[in-house]
Chain A
């Protein structure tokens, strides 16, 4: 069966520091991968998606970037965090129309 992992689970970073969140999927090949952000009490906003290695599409102009160095690895990065980057970050994968989500990372920028 397929599983999706995200780490770290919780992160507190100062403004201006770099960021790297990692997502890995097991039990499937060539999945579509997604990064979402969820602000407190809000719905999900799609940040990036990837249909293959090295293929990244950005949905919203951000202080963030994404990379897919391996088939089942998806990384969310920032060179300099802003206060507005605080939130809950969810990674998801799909092979068809259903998306399956990881446990998420709670990021607090101080």
Chain B
């Protein structure tokens, strides 16, 4: 069964600094999708970034980028120039087909001013 592991329950970063959130997953599939979702205090789940497993190039969205290591089954999220609004729970998710998205337990990110 596919599982997603986020080994950092909590992380903190100074405003304007860079932070990396870790995620590993377990799968026997070769073609799948990976996502990072952000859940601020409002609890609305917001898609931050996605990565297709068949693409070697790491995805980037403005200050957010990923380090996708397919062989190691690792998918970390780097947040550059951290802002106070980045404070939230961050969930890593894996999807093999349209109806099977698996989420990690989440990492709570605190941004210090």
Listed in ascending order, the chain A residues whose CB lies under 8 Å from chain B are 32, 34, 38, 41-44, 46, 49, 51, 57, 88, 90, 92, 94, 96-104, 106
Contact = CB atoms under 8 A, between A and B. Distances in A.
A9 B35 CA distance: 26
Contact of A43 (B47, B95, B104): B104
B45 A98 contact: no
Interface of B: 33, 35, 37, 42-47, 50, 91, 95, 98-101, 103-106
A92 B47 CA distance: 12
The 10 lowest CB-CB distance pairs between A and B, nearest first, are A101-B45, A43-B103, A44-B103, A97-B33, A43-B105, A49-B99, A104-B43, A103-B44, A97-B95, A43-B106
A94 B106 contact: no
Contacts, number: 51
Nearest to A41: B106
Contacts of A88: 43
B52 to A, nearest CB: 8
A51 B99 contact: yes
A106 to B, nearest CB: 8
Contacts of B44: 101-104
A88 B37 CA distance: 16
A57 B106 contact: no
Given A32-B99, A88-B43, 18 more contacts: A32-B98, A34-B99, A34-B101, A43-B104, A43-B105, A44-B45, A44-B91, A94-B98, A97-B50, A97-B95, A99-B95, A100-B47, A101-B37, A101-B45, A103-B43, A104-B44, A104-B45, A106-B43
